[in-house]
Every structure is written in C-alpha cells, then in structure tokens.
C-alpha cells in the first residue's frame, strides 16, 4: 500500500517536472525537433540534442529502472587561461527525471540545477555551468552533486597567471629548480594575453638573445646543462603596458667538481716547505684530499692543509714540511661530491718551474721579451726557441749565464732581445736550468710582426694584461710579486742579449 502510494507520488512529481522542463525549453526544442523530424526517425520521443538532455526524456521510460546515476569520471581537471569562457560539465549517466543537480565551489553552493546562486556562474540547460572571463580567483575545486543519491563529480579548474614559465612543460613560475650536469631542459615563457605581446628573456640580468625561431616561441633550450647555466632566468611579456607581466625561475645546477691548479710544477728545495695549490668549484659541496703514490695523505707533522676562497673558487693548499727527495714527484688533488669526482696533478721537484711569458715590446724588427721563472736554486742557463709560422724547426738561442746569489728563494726574470729577420706570425718559448735540472718549456708565446710600423703599437696593446695571473705565477702572493717586478726597469741587467735577473722576493 505504502509502496504504491510512493510510486504514485513519484510519478506525479516526474510528470510535473517533465512538464516544467518542456515549458522552460519550449522554443529551442521546437526549432530543433522541426529540423530533425524532417530527416531522422528517432526512436526517442524527444529529438533534442541527444544524451545531454536525458533528464528531459519522458518519465515513463525510466522512472522505475532503479540504477543510480553515475559519472564516467569522478575527477576532472581543466586548465584555462585568464579571460577564457569555461564550461564545467556535469555529464551523469543514468540521470533520472527525479534527479536534481547542485553545484558547489568548495563547500559553497553556486548553482541549484540551472539556477545560478552566484553571479559568477551561468547555469545551462544540460546542467553544465558557464564561467565567463575566468581569472585566477576562479581556480579551485568544483563539485557537481546529483541528488538525492549525492553522486559527485569533482572538477578542478586552474586558471594560469597572465604569464607563466614552464620547465619541461611544468609550471615553475617564481620557483627554483635544480638541474644536473649534462641534463637537457626547456624553459618556456607563455603569456595569456594579446598576440601583440613580445617575450623577453634575461639571464642573471643580461638580455638573452637566442636564435630567432626560439625567441619567437619564448623558449630557451638548455642542452648539456653545466655550471654556467645556473642563475636567475626572468621573462617579461612586453605588451606595451606600464605593468607588463613577468616571472622568474632560479636554476641551480649540480655538477661534479671542476679541479685545476695554477701551478702544475712546484719548485722546492731540500729542507724547505713546499705549498701545492688545488683550486675547485663544486655543487653540491665537495670534499678534497691529496694522494701521493696511491696513498691518501693524512694530516701530520709533515702534511697540513689550508682551505681558502679565491676569485670564485675554493682552494685547498697542501703544505709539505722539511722536504727531502722522497717528497718529490706527483701529487693528486682529488675532489668529490654527490655528482662525481675529479683530480688535478701537481708535480713537486727541485727543477725550475715552467717559465711564464710576462710581456714584450716590439720596435721595428727588434723584439724584447720577458719571462718569469720560479726557482729557489740559482738559474744557471736559459734557452729560447723561436720560429716563424710554417717553419718546421726552431731557432735556438742558448745563453749560459751563471750568477752567484745568496738568497734562498724567489722569482727570476728572463729578458731577451731578438732582431727578427722577417715579418709575420712568430712563436717563442723558453726553458731554464737551475743547479738541479731543466724546467719544461713554457707554452708558446705567439706574436705578430706587422708589415708597417704604425701597427706595432697595436700589437703591444693586444698583449693580454692578465697573462701572468692566468699563466699561473699568480695566486695572491705571486700576483703581488709579478706587479712588483713590472715596476723594475725592464732589462736593466742586460748581458749578451739575454739576462737573468735575480729578484729578492721570497714567496
Ligand atoms: C552542455 O551545453 C554546452 C552549451 O551548449 C556545451 O558546450 C556542453 O558541451 C554541454 N555539455 C555536455 C556534457 O554535453
Ligand atoms: C667552498 O666555497 C663556498 C663558498 O662559495 C663555501 O660555502 C664552502 O664551504 C667551501 N667549501 C670548502 C670545502 O671549503
Ligand atoms: C749577498 O749577501 C751580501 C752580504 O749579506 C750582500 O752584501 C750582497 O749584496 C748579496 N748579493 C746579492 C747578489 O744579493
């Protein structure tokens, strides 16, 4: 009895709703049924836009079928750009005429069936809602609930910023990223504004000029990422306005240590104290140690370590006390971090260190060159090789110049004047001998003897001023020594073309 009465009520309600539905949608449905009725024979009585309007089906087809409504997908994500019109669907299967739809944003009701409660939304006849001109405030979780079963579908709407930076298609705007050495990454700057916007990238404050096709897309491709790619990337969407959108991403790069030394050969003497320098950079933080003859050196009376920081790199200095023959040979400076490890080799000997070119003057075909050499032992001899580009053999000037000195440490300056027989590109190198042996040859120094005198000045100016620092007599102490040397009258101790000048500098 009770059951029958309930069904009757239900049927009545359904009929009423059905009536209401038809009334509400009277005009659009009429047009469509007219058109469709000409060409198609739908089994369905309602020839409207198909499954969208299941709710409008005549109640007698479905009312008691019993299966509850459900969604094919219970969670949806929608990405939108600012200004877009966004439709959120509520496309339930088995939607019955007795079902009602309720829209929530978070926990707030925003639409009751097709009647919007919030002025941000417009209800649509198929239970979808429309948000016009979305902004980032519209981002959030929207719920479409089918009542009375309370079957829900969650739609997460994300409205992007006016500009966003994507790294490998993920939004990283105003965040930081850590890359690994050797990686490949793509940074893309997107704006959701008029097409007039031109995208401008900068890296560590410098405008990035990439290839035209890349900049057009606002893309920076980082191939084989390395230390130099670390920094702040900023993107500006220049739309001509006073407040153009912009964003940034900070890139950190993890790389295996880069290890070097500015003195590959270190001269020392019996009983002296030797210092060997190991320069490195690393990220993340690295540890360093020295190896000799396959053994890691432990701190002791003999060995000590000094850590310091120089021009953007860390320096570990190994100090060896009371040197004897057994301490000579090759030392490895080993530096490692979470990414990898690298080594630099340093050779300790009694021989002079490799000479370094200091500077030169050119006067017509007369060339005066200066080199610097470190040797605690007196220099006994120096040899200068020179040749014109294209010739196979070196011309050699060997000058024996033995001077007695009563100092026990310092830098030597070698000066030589040549009268060159031809103009063109010349190469020169020097090696020296002390009481213990020969040094290596210096790296070639290349210089051009120009065709006309007027350009000679230019050549002088082209000499790299930082040659000594780079070449390695540098370091904090050596740098000072080198500049002190430059203040001395060059070639003041000329002797048979080549002179060896003792400088009373202790390092
Ligand atoms: C509901 O109607 C709107 C407007 O006609 C349409 O864009 C949308 O796709 C419809 N939704 C479904 C689920 O069909
Ligand atoms: C290397 O230098 C950085 C400073 O740039 C410092 O934070 C770090 O502790 C140094 N590492 C070592 C091992 O000295
Ligand atoms: C060697 O030492 C003596 C005495 O100390 C000094 O007079 C002389 O100038 C020194 N010679 C050189 C070349 O430095």
Report domain extents, the chain. 2-61, 75-159, 163-252, 261-349, 356-502
Residue 382 has pLDDT above 50, yes or no: yes
Average pLDDT over all residues of the chain: 78
Task: State the pLDDT at residue 497.
Answer: 36
Task: State the pLDDT at residue 196.
Answer: 74
In this prediction, residues 407-428 reach a mean pLDDT of 83
Exposure of 69 in the CB half-sphere (CA atoms within 13 A)? 27
Instruction: Say if strands 75-80 and 151-159 run parallel, antiparallel, or are unpaired.
Output: parallel
* Confidence grade of residue 38 (pLDDT, cut at 50, 70, 90): very low
Q: Which ligand is nearest to the CA of 336?
A: 2
Which residues line the pocket of ligand 2, CB cutoff 6 A? 285, 307, 309, 314
Q: Could you tell me if 65 and 58 are in contact, meaning their C-beta atoms sit under 8 angstroms apart?
A: no
Calculate how far, in angstroms, residue 406's C-alpha sits from the geometric centre of ligand 3: 6
| Closest C-alpha to ligand 2, atom 9 | 285
* Confidence grade of residue 347 (pLDDT, cut at 50, 70, 90): very high
Q: What is each CA distance from 55 to 20, 97, 151, 188, in whole angstroms?
A: 12, 5, 16, 45
Say yes or no: do domains 75-159 and 163-252 share a fold: yes
Task: State the pLDDT at residue 242.
Answer: 82
Above pLDDT 90, what percent of the chain? 48
Task: State the pLDDT at residue 161.
Answer: 76
Interhelix angle for 2-24 vs 26-39, to 10°?
A: 90
- 261: which 2 tokens? 């030394």
Task: State the pLDDT at residue 288.
Answer: 95
Pocket test for ligand 1, best of 51, 89, 125, 129 (most atoms within 8 A of CB): 89
CATH architecture of 261-349: Sandwich (2.60)
Residue 147 has pLDDT above 50, yes or no: yes
Task: State the pLDDT at residue 307.
Answer: 95
Distance CA 467, CA 445 (A): 10
| Closest C-alpha to ligand 3, atom 10 | 406
Least confident among 61-70, 182-191, 246-255, 400-409: 400-409
Calculate how far, in angstroms, residue 129's C-alpha sits from the geometric centre of ligand 1: 9
Which residues line the pocket of ligand 3, CB cutoff 6 A? 405-406
In this prediction, residues 5-28 reach a mean pLDDT of 45
Task: State the pLDDT at residue 214.
Answer: 54
Task: State the pLDDT at residue 216.
Answer: 58
Q: Could you tell me if 209 and 217 are in contact, meaning their C-beta atoms sit under 8 angstroms apart?
A: no
Kind and range of the H or E element at 22? helix 2-24
Least confident among 13-17, 85-89, 260-264, 319-323: 13-17
Burial of 348 (0-12, 13-18, 19+ CB in 10 A): buried
State whether the beta carbon of 87 lies less than 6 angstroms from ligand 1. Answer: yes
Beta bridge partners of 334: 289, 343
| Closest C-alpha to ligand 1, atom 9 | 89
In this prediction, residues 356-369 reach a mean pLDDT of 90
CATH topology of domain 75-159: Immunoglobulin-like (2.60.40)
Pocket test for ligand 2, best of 255, 259, 283, 309 (most atoms within 8 A of CB): 309
Task: State the pLDDT at residue 495.
Answer: 32
Residue 498 has pLDDT above 60, yes or no: no
Calculate how far, in angstroms, residue 397's C-alpha sits from the geometric centre of ligand 3: 30
Sequence-distant (6+) residues with CB within 8 A of 222 are 179, 183, 184, 185, 186, 187, 229
Global pTM? 0.57
In this prediction, residues 52-78 reach a mean pLDDT of 67
* Confidence grade of residue 285 (pLDDT, cut at 50, 70, 90): very high
Residue 77 has pLDDT above 60, yes or no: yes
Distance CA 356, CA 358 (A): 6
Q: Domain 356-502 maps to which CATH number in 2.60.40.10, 3.90.1300.10, 3.30.70.20, 3.40.50.720?
A: 2.60.40.10
In this prediction, residues 372-390 reach a mean pLDDT of 90
Residue 21 has pLDDT above 80, yes or no: no
Helix then strand then coil, in percent of the chain rounded to 5, is: 20, 45, 40
In this prediction, residues 99-126 reach a mean pLDDT of 90
Task: State the pLDDT at residue 500.
Answer: 46
Q: Which ligand is nearest to the CA of 410?
A: 3
Task: Return the DSSP state at 82.
Answer: T
Distance CA 42, CA 55 (A): 17
Distance of CA 63 to the CA centre of its chain: 63
Instruction: Say if strands 140-147 and 100-105 run parallel, antiparallel, or are unpaired.
Output: antiparallel
Between 335 and 60, the more confident residue is 335
In this prediction, residues 265-292 reach a mean pLDDT of 96
- 343: which 2 tokens? 């080594």
3-state secondary structure of 490: coil
Instruction: Say if strands 295-296 and 341-349 run parallel, antiparallel, or are unpaired.
Output: unpaired
CATH of domain 163-252: 2.60.40.10
In this prediction, residues 425-447 reach a mean pLDDT of 93
């Amino acid at each position: 009895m009770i059951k029958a009465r309930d069904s009757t009520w239900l049927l009545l309600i359904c009929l009423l709703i059905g009536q209401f539905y038809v009334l509400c949608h009277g005009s659009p449905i009429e047009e469509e049924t007219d058109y469709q009725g000409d060409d198609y024979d739908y089994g369905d009585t309602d020839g409207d836009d198909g499954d969208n309007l299941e709710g409008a089906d005549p109640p007698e087809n479905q009312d008691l079928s019993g299966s509850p409504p459900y969604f094919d997908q219970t969670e949806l994500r929608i990405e939108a750009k600012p200004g877009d019109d966004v439709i959120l669907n509520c496309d339930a299967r088995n939607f019955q005429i007795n079902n009602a739809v309720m829209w929530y944003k978070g926990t707030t009701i925003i639409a009751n069936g097709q009647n919007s409660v919030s002025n941000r939304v417009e209800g649509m006849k198929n239970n979808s809602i429309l948000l016009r001109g979305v902004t980032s405030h519209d981002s959030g979780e929207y719920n479409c609930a089918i009542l009375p079963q309370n079957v829900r579908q969650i739609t997460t709407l994300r409205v992007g910023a006016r500009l966003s930076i994507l790294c490998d298609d993920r939004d990283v705007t105003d965040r930081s990223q850590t890359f690994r050495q050797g990686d490949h990454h793509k940074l893309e700057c997107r704006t959701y504004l008029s097409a007039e916007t031109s995208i401008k990238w900068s890296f560590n404050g410098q405008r990035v000029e990439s290839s035209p096709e890349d900049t057009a897309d606002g893309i920076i491709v980082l191939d084989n990422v390395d230390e130099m790619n670390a920094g702040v990337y900023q993107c500006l969407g220049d739309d001509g306005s006073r407040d153009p959108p912009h964003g940034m991403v900070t890139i950190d790069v993890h790389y295996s240590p880069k290890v070097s030394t500015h003195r590959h050969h270190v001269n020392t003497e019996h009983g002296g104290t030797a210092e060997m320098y190991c320069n490195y950079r690393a990220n993340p933080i690295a540890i360093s140690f020295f190896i000799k003859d396959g053994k890691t050196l432990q701190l002791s009376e003999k060995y000590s370590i000094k850590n310091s920081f120089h021009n953007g790199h860390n320096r570990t200095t190994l100090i060896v006390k009371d040197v004897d023959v057994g301490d000579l040979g090759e030392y490895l400076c080993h530096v490692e971090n979470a990414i990898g490890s690298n080594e630099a080799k340093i050779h300790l000997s009694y021989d002079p260190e490799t000479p370094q070119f200091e500077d030169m003057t050119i006067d017509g075909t007369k060339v005066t060159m200066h080199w610097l050499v470190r040797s605690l032992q007196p220099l006994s001899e120096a040899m200068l090789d020179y040749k014109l580009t294209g010739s196979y053999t070196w011309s050699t000037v060997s000058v024996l110049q033995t001077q007695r000195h009563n100092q026990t440490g310092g830098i030597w300056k070698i000066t030589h004047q040549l009268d060159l027989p031809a103009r063109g590109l010349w190469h020169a190198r020097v090696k020296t001998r002390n009481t213990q042996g020969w040094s290596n040859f210096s790296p070639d120094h290349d210089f051009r003897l120009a065709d006309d005198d007027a350009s000679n000045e230019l050549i002088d100016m082209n000499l790299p001023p930082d040659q000594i620092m780079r070449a390695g007599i540098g370091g904090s102490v050596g740098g000072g020594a080198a500049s002190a040397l430059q203040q001395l009258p060059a070639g003041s101790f000329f002797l048979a073309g080549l002179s060896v000048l003792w400088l009373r500098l202790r390092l």
